[in-house]
Amino acid sequence: MQSYQNLKFGSNLATFAGCELKIQQTSDACRKEIISEAQSYWLEKFENLKKQVFIDEKDQLRNAVGWSDKEKLIKEISPLLKDFSRKLDRLIDDDLAKVLRQLKAISLNEIKSFMNLLNSEPATELLSELITTRYKVEDLLTQKISATAKGETYLPSIADIFHPYIDAWKKRFGDIAWNEVSEFSFDVLQRSEKRVNTMIDDRMLVVNDSFTSAIAFYIYFLETHARYTAETPEQKLAEKAWIDQQRQKLQQLQTQLNLLNS
């Protein structure tokens, strides 16, 4: 491999590794931001509802509500839940779009240029797999939040999950206790956090598949060019050392991806 190609490959690999790290950092940051913003949003709205329904004229917390207060609770909490459910999914969609923008920053043109140097059927197949995976990731990241990457499992929204609870309150003849409503709010927060983690983990598995395909191509490129054409023994050793170093970087990157997927 000529010195210019070495530099070009090393630069491309460094850019690739940097993008992979940045995408992982972005997804981790997004996860925390979504959970924090969503929980703050719900707690603020729920606190207002609590004051309207469960705080009496003496500013004391009621143990339970019935009759008109019960009707007010049901009337207010249903649209609140739907609003929160839509808010949560918008936050997930918006932050996954950030991951998509960073993924698109990784150009396939440089990888294609290495493939042209190899001009072999295995290289073409690896590149085709990489491009297919890349398009799949881009398509998935633009989909609305409703199913996993495999497209097999419908993920009910937070509103769908908790609507039966509200229906049960509507049909109940007795009072609704504050402890029930407080527990309801806690469960909403727990399930919303689980939804965020499930969707981001699911999307990132596919993103990592894309990186794994790229790593496979890079490793193949190194193995194919492990023909030490330099003239002197010293140059051959230097070439071999460089290739071993690049291979080690790729293997470390793959190990990191495996840990993230486990």
| Average pLDDT score over residue span 185-204 | 91
What are the tens digits of pLDDT across the range 124-177? 676 677 677 667 767 766 666 554 555 545 578 899 999 999 999 999 989 999
Task: Write down the pLDDT at residue 87.
Answer: 94
What CA dihedral angle connects 207, 213, 214 and 215, to 10 degrees?
110
The whole-number pLDDT of residue 125 equals 72
Least confident window among 61-65, 81-85, 127-131: 127-131
As a residue count, the chain comes to 262
> How many structural domains is the chain composed of?
1
Q: In sequence order, what are the residues at sequence separation of 6 or more whose Cβ sits closer than 8 angstroms to the Cβ of residue 137? A: 103, 206, 207, 209, 210
pLDDT greater at residue 207 or residue 163? 163
**Pairwise pLDDT comparison (23 vs 74), residue with the higher score:** 74
**Which residue's structure tokens are 């229906």?**
167
Residues of the domain holding 160: 3-261
**Rounded Cα distance, 223 and 114, in Å:** 13
Q: What is the mean pLDDT of the chain?
A: 78
Global pTM value:
0.76
Give the pLDDT score at 235: 61
Q: How confident is the model at residue 46 (pLDDT cuts 50, 70, 90)?
A: very high
pLDDT, position 4: 42
* pLDDT exceeds 80 at position 78: yes
Report whether 151 contacts 47 (CB < 8 A). Answer: no
Out of 19-23, 190-194, 252-256, which region has the weakest mean confidence (pLDDT)? 252-256
Q: What DSSP line would sit under 89-157, residue for residue?
A: HHHHHHHHHHHHHHHHTS-SHHHHHHHHHH--HHHHHHHHHHHHHHHHHHHHHHS-SSB-TTS--B---
pLDDT tens profile 218-243:
777 776 665 544 455 666 666 666 66
Tell me if residue 224 falls in helix, strand or coil. Answer: helix
**Range 79-95 average pLDDT:** 92
- Residue 234: the pLDDT is 66
Percentage of the chain lying above the pLDDT 70 cut? 61
Q: Select the highest-mean-pLDDT range: 55-59, 97-101, 227-231, 236-240.
A: 55-59
Per-residue confidence (pLDDT) for residue 190, from 0 to 100? 97
